[in-house]
A and B are shown apart, each in its own frame.
Chain A
Amino acid sequence: MSSERHGTTYEAAGQFSPDAVAASMQRNDGGFGRNQDTYFDHPVLRKAHWRWEIVAYFFIGGASAASAALASIADLFGDPDDEALVRTGRYVALAGSAVSSALLIKDLGRPERFLNMLRIVKLKSPMSVGVYALVTFATTSGFAAMEQARADGVIPFDPFGWFPRRLRVAAHMVSAALMICYTGVLLSATAIPVWYRGRRHLPAIFVLSASGAGCALQNALLALTGGSGRTAKKLETIEVIAGLAEAVLLWDYERVAGEPGKALFGGARGRKLKTYAVGVGIAIPALLSLPSILSGKAHPKPKRLRTLLTAACALAGGYVLRECVVYAGRDSADDPRAYLRHPE
């Protein structure tokens, strides 16, 4: 030991493999500048601070907007026995937009910060567009709810009754659509690799999963409030179509995202996404509802338990999807190679 420590017998040349050195320096470049491809692995980008509030906001905003859309469609194109759907759809829309606003304010910290966004309209900023989508959605939902309340005799008269009805419904529908669309754009239009690489998928995926969630939510409520089996069947049909489309898009997203996509599709998060968002959120509901969809005749009384179970699965899946996507953004921002090595 000591003679070796003493250094008289020690030969440095060759004795130290760069890897041994690298290990001692806990650095991939061995401090000798070999294959330096980042700066000490420090992140290049900054992650958004978003946490569960935003996940919940995306989810609830999406589901309630979808409900609104379904209500409007049912209102315009549905049968008399779809009225239950129209009712719950309208009320859910109002409640949903209220909760969404609350969540957004929670994320910002103070209410006036929310109002601050209304200083200007800025089409270039998805955040700005989104805020106005939310505001208009909330307002039109308010109108719709009021109309419904009037119809249900909860309030004596509808102050906006004079407003052309079809226009109202259309407006509600459009604002709901915007509300559903923009969240995907909000994420896609950033510098975060895993997100912007999904710009051709994420917005659609969010729309589809929102639709699915909307159907599931309505179905559940109808099951509880005793809606018609025909409505349930319609909703299930839409839900299954949306679900399958979503699954296909997710698969393609993973394909094109490549290496940077790993933040979402790789590792534990990837497994979570596939098990819950796809497995629980899409496959199971589809399987559970297929029989009734395929059976030609519409059963008068929907099977309550099954419906509730299906809905629960679909809703859970929708939430997990958004959670995975939002949190994948954090990891993606922290990984310098995702950005430096794979520019688009």
Chain B
Amino acid sequence: MPGLGTLYGRGGATTFLMDLEHSDLILIQGSNFAENHPVGFRFVTKAKERGAKVIHIDPRFTRTSALADEYIPIRSGTDIAFTGGIINYVLQNEAYFKEYVVAYTNAAYIVDERFADTDDLDGIFSGFNAEKGTYDPATWKYELEESGGESSQAAGSAKDAVNGGTSATTGSHPEHGTKRPKKDETLQHPRCAINLLKKHFTRYTPEMVERITGAPKEQFIELCKLVVANSGRERTMVYCYAMGWAQHTVGVQNIRAAATLQALLGNTGRPGGGIMALRGHASIQGSTDIATLYDLLPGYIKAPSLERGEDTFEKWKKNWANPTGWWANWPKYAVSQLKAWYGEAARADNDWAYDYLPKNTGDHSHQPMFFTMKDGGIEGMILWGQNPAVGGQNAALQRAALGQLKWMVCQDLFETESAAFWKREGVDPATIGTEVFFMPAAAIAEKAGTLTNTMRLVQFHEKAVDSPGDARSDLSLAYNLGKRLKALYADSQLATDRPILDMTWNYDSDDAHERARGEPDVEKIMREINGYVVETGEQVKTFVDLKDDGSTAAGAWIYTGYFPAKDQNLTRRRKGDDWVSLEWAWAWPANRRNLYNRASADPDGKPWSERKKYIWWDEEAKKWTGLDVPDFPVAKAPTFRAQPGAKGMDAHDGTAPFIIQEYGVAEFFGVQGTVDGPFPTHYEPRESPVPNFLYPHQQYNPVLKEWRRRDNPYHAIGDPKYPYVLSTYRLTEHHLTGAMTRWNSWLAELQPEAFCEISPELAVELGIRNGDWVTISTARGEVEAKALVTGRITPFKIGPKQWVHQIGMPIHYGYQGLVTGDAANVLPPLVADPNVSIHEAKAFTCDLRLGRRGPAHEGPTWLPVPASEQRPLGRPDRGGRVEAGTAHTTDDDIVPAGVVMAGAQREHQLESSEHLSIDPEPAGDREANT
């Protein structure tokens, strides 16, 4: 997540689960920790037993709230206002950790005078390009010292703006060359980062927080006091978040706000501190490390993009190899990777076969991909362990899109909704041309391999039994596919076929039984990922040994070291202790568990306090030592000072803990890495019944990704037809689209039917009784569910006049399996955060009525869209603009949402739901359209 990357350098969680036990205050916000990471939650209960306080901030009172010391209700989509309020409290009361902030952050750095803040520009930052609907971050810069090193003017500006920086690491800015920013260590200069930060958040007062979020003011102030009391030399606080923050059109900024606060309070890099990102699937961390994302290569190396003009290796390198900081090593990692993939064929004279790499030409993330598919732009698809017919937003559109494919291969454990999309309710299979091949998959116990969990811990698991029948591992499918392609092109002379022919592909198992089953040897692949010396073929021990001259090969530098010798698979280790457990498996990078841990010592290298001792400088041994692997050059003394013009790590002082960052410090003012502004700012969700109290004329994130098409209609701001906020989430009893749980009677009986949670207040208002059937509808479609009326859901008092009802709905149900139910995902629109293209499933508007739904519930999502309307990303106007005069100005006159809507409608014709509400046609006609 760039939210962490921009500030700290790396996108991964900064800490590890067992460390929670050593925290004094655990803030869980945007995560239902207890329900979705129950095993990890044991360390929260342990911390509690040791006397730590646990606070849960969430729209619903969940099983996590039940275990928390305090629960604070907050309306979905208002976390920046909330965290911003704490930041403001800390800054106003000068309660931040001075020594830490001055030494370890860019607080003192002076920002370019051309930069203009949202308060100056009525809700947008300087550099907004209305044509593209994106920002040009040219003015988001520091003032550089005149002297000191050359300044290479690369064409890198706004490079991330085009192509959402999914990177775990920050975008770099080599155009600075080795020049260093001007500083004012006294923090007096009005334009030094911390003062801009202070200015930016001054309006986030407790009153404003209560007004926007609905969280009681008194409770909020108490929390601020608690936060301050539990930070500093002696105590630390940790943040735990997950999808409740990420799944928003301001998802990345949600996380960034917390990262900002943790840096201000000096909690990052210290025991019991930092930010615990609670990730999803058992190995979702692994799948971003060894990149499943379209714009990344393994190890967070940015995939080449023609939009950034990276048509040659040189240009690619120029864009990503920082002169200073850790990314100065970028060429070593990129070259070693190409070497690992193309072996002999990757030579200095052919730019390491750079031409073999496919180049991105646009946004190919999930959502645009499915629009392209629906418009007939994609011929075939291999669906691998994914179930978009249930898990994808505007699911009905995604189901329709599958029907536009010529062929689809689905490898899964069960015949999921996606595999069976062609026989779902209201569809005549005869009208669907897609040829579907179903390949049974081997489940986890039926194959060996690694899982990289939420704390970057790579753990190996053995195979327990052979998979039944034809079921095979995904690896086996991929490997044999590759082999057959190679065979197919074996005698081709065409240059375009070289990438296939030259690809390293030698993972045959030495075990006869496995070979006979067509299963490759996982450890052979791991050895390649770890890397080896090309000459001798022996394993590389650490990424420090990787070279940019082609003498080393490594599939993913961040994993280098997990297989340091032919017979040493460190991810098999299982020796734990009651805390850091360095000999339990292996964590990237370099088995470091708590990142930036140099910050656990003061600038002189001494622990901030005895109580929070973790990593320190050993004067005798002249090296860093402690409980963890130092996340710092081990022999670099605290007293080390960088020389002007120095490059790479030498450009960092001995006091710079954030080694990936260009200047080795945490950056409040995000020079790059996020494309929607250098500071987090409160915007309402794309669909909301509430006006933006902070920026009345800018309702939502002006650069969010949206697709205004008749098959993806949006509700107008405050549309009275959709008065309620809907938020979707998980239950402990099920897993995501339910494929792994709704087929299992023991789990199915625990949560057998689709339901929605509503407050007793709303139930009384609508005459709904516990257990009644209700229908939830949006312009995208409607679904039915049983009503679970519970006091755990509360209406929110918003502003002086408005009450907002929030409805909650689990995402787990679909039309296949032992127990079935309508999929919540028929309801949300496709809309995305501009940085990582994540959807906004946590907050959108809907209507609710008593009774069951009609037969044709998939709405207008079936319609084919005329070429003229198949608009890709971006829009010609300023999204979310609310015209002057229509919005409220003073506290007491909130415009009735209707007026806001009028203002909004004038400028988004396509958006008004009248315009798009298409009466569901008879199924027959709909088929005709597909």
Contact with A along B757-772 (1 / 0, CB 8 A): 0001101110011110
What is the chain A residue whose CB lies nearest that of B722? A6
- Inter-chain contact B761/A7, CB cutoff 8 Å: no
Task: State how many angstroms separate the Cβ of A19 from the closest Cβ of chain B.
Answer: 10
Enumerate chain B residues within 8 angstroms of A30, measured Cβ to Cβ: 760, 791
Bound complex: CA A20 to CA B765 (Å) = 10
Bound complex: CA A30 to CA B803 (Å) = 21
A304, CB-defined interface residue at 8 Å? no
- Inter-chain contact B770/A8, CB cutoff 8 Å: no
Q: Which of A8, A11, A26, A27 contacts B897 (CB 8 A)?
A: A8
Bound complex: CA A10 to CA B720 (Å) = 14
What is the chain A residue whose CB lies nearest that of B760? A21
- Inter-chain contact B720/A24, CB cutoff 8 Å: no
- Inter-chain contact A16/B764, CB cutoff 8 Å: yes
Bound complex: CA A12 to CA B793 (Å) = 13
Given known pairs A12-B795, A12-B797, the reply for A24 and B897 (CB within 8 Å) is no
Residues 10 to 33 of chain A near chain B (Cβ within 8 Å): 10-12, 15-16, 20-21, 23-27, 30-32
Q: Which of B724, B768, B803 contacts A24 (CB 8 A)?
A: B768
Task: State how many angstroms separate the Cβ of B796 from the closest Cβ of chain A.
Answer: 9
Q: Which of A5, A20, A26, A27 contacts B764 (CB 8 A)?
A: A20
Bound complex: CA A203 to CA B725 (Å) = 64
B896, CB-defined interface residue at 8 Å? yes
Given known pairs A12-B795, A25-B789, the reply for A7 and B802 (CB within 8 Å) is yes
- Inter-chain contact B896/A24, CB cutoff 8 Å: no
Interface size of B by Cβ–Cβ distance < 8 Å?
A: 25
Enumerate chain A residues within 8 angstroms of B724, measured Cβ to Cβ: 7
B790, CB-defined interface residue at 8 Å? yes
Residues 728 to 779 of chain B near chain A (Cβ within 8 Å): 760-761, 763-765, 768-771
Bound complex: CA A7 to CA B689 (Å) = 9
What is the chain A residue whose CB lies nearest that of B896? A8
Residues 24 to 47 of chain A near chain B (Cβ within 8 Å): 24-27, 30-32
Enumerate chain A residues within 8 angstroms of B804, measured Cβ to Cβ: 7
Q: Which of B720, B791, B803 contacts A12 (CB 8 A)?
A: B803
B127, CB-defined interface residue at 8 Å? no
- Inter-chain contact A10/B791, CB cutoff 8 Å: no
Task: State how many angstroms separate the Cβ of A25 from the closest Cβ of chain B.
Answer: 5
Residues 803 to 841 of chain B near chain A (Cβ within 8 Å): 803-805
- Inter-chain contact A15/B897, CB cutoff 8 Å: no
Bound complex: CA A3 to CA B803 (Å) = 12
Given known pairs A7-B689, A21-B760, the reply for A31 and B791 (CB within 8 Å) is yes
Bound complex: CA A23 to CA B772 (Å) = 13
- Inter-chain contact B770/A27, CB cutoff 8 Å: yes
Q: Which of B723, B761, B768 contacts A6 (CB 8 A)?
A: B723
Enumerate chain B residues within 8 angstroms of A20, measured Cβ to Cβ: 764
A2, CB-defined interface residue at 8 Å? yes
B484, CB-defined interface residue at 8 Å? no
Enumerate chain A residues within 8 angstroms of B761, measured Cβ to Cβ: 12, 15-16, 21
Given known pairs A7-B689, A31-B791, the reply for A25 and B763 (CB within 8 Å) is yes
Enumerate chain B residues within 8 angstroms of A10, measured Cβ to Cβ: 765, 795, 803
Bound complex: CA A23 to CA B769 (Å) = 7
- Inter-chain contact A25/B769, CB cutoff 8 Å: yes
- Inter-chain contact A31/B765, CB cutoff 8 Å: no
Bound complex: CA A32 to CA B763 (Å) = 14
B801, CB-defined interface residue at 8 Å? yes
Contact with A along B450-473 (1 / 0, CB 8 A): 000000000000000000000000
Bound complex: CA A321 to CA B534 (Å) = 95
Enumerate chain A residues within 8 angstroms of B771, measured Cβ to Cβ: 26
Task: State how many angstroms separate the Cβ of B668 from the closest Cβ of chain A.
Answer: 37
Task: State how many angstroms separate the Cβ of A50 from the closest Cβ of chain B.
Answer: 29
- Inter-chain contact B768/A8, CB cutoff 8 Å: no
Enumerate chain A residues within 8 angstroms of B790, measured Cβ to Cβ: 25, 31
- Inter-chain contact B689/A24, CB cutoff 8 Å: no
Bound complex: CA A5 to CA B898 (Å) = 13
Given known pairs A15-B761, A31-B791, the reply for A26 and B720 (CB within 8 Å) is no
- Inter-chain contact B760/A25, CB cutoff 8 Å: yes
Given known pairs A21-B760, A32-B791, the reply for A6 and B897 (CB within 8 Å) is yes
Bound complex: CA A3 to CA B771 (Å) = 27
Bound complex: CA A32 to CA B764 (Å) = 15
What is the chain A residue whose CB lies nearest that of B759? A12
Bound complex: CA A23 to CA B761 (Å) = 11
Residues 675 to 708 of chain B near chain A (Cβ within 8 Å): 689
Given known pairs A7-B804, A24-B769, the reply for A31 and B896 (CB within 8 Å) is no
What is the chain B residue whose CB lies nearest that of A29? B791
What is the chain B residue whose CB lies nearest that of A31? B791
Bound complex: CA A11 to CA B896 (Å) = 15
- Inter-chain contact A24/B764, CB cutoff 8 Å: yes
Task: State how many angstroms separate the Cβ of B61 from the closest Cβ of chain A.
Answer: 11
Enumerate chain B residues within 8 angstroms of A24, measured Cβ to Cβ: 760, 763-764, 768-770, 789
- Inter-chain contact B789/A31, CB cutoff 8 Å: yes
Enumerate chain B residues within 8 angstroms of A3, measured Cβ to Cβ: 720
Enumerate chain A residues within 8 angstroms of B789, measured Cβ to Cβ: 24-25, 31
Task: State how many angstroms separate the Cβ of A319 from the closest Cβ of chain B.
Answer: 41
- Inter-chain contact A25/B803, CB cutoff 8 Å: no
Contact with A along B896-907 (1 / 0, CB 8 A): 110000000000
Q: Which of A4, A9, A15, A25 contacts B770 (CB 8 A)?
A: A25
Enumerate chain A residues within 8 angstroms of B763, measured Cβ to Cβ: 21, 24-25
* 6 residue pairs, one from A and one from B, having the closest CB atoms: A21-B760, A24-B763, A31-B791, A10-B803, A6-B723, A25-B770
Give A contacts to B, CB under 8 Å.
2-12, 15-16, 20-21, 23-27, 30-32
Additional A-B contacts beyond A5-B765, A21-B791, A24-B764 (19; CB < 8 A): A6-B720, A6-B723, A7-B724, A7-B802, A7-B803, A7-B805, A8-B802, A10-B795, A11-B803, A12-B795, A15-B761, A16-B761, A21-B763, A21-B764, A23-B764, A23-B769, A24-B760, A26-B769, A31-B790
Enumerate 14 A-B pairs (CB-CB under 8 Å) in ascending A order.
Answer: A6-B723, A12-B797, A12-B803, A15-B761, A16-B760, A21-B761, A21-B763, A24-B763, A24-B764, A24-B770, A26-B769, A26-B770, A26-B771, A31-B789
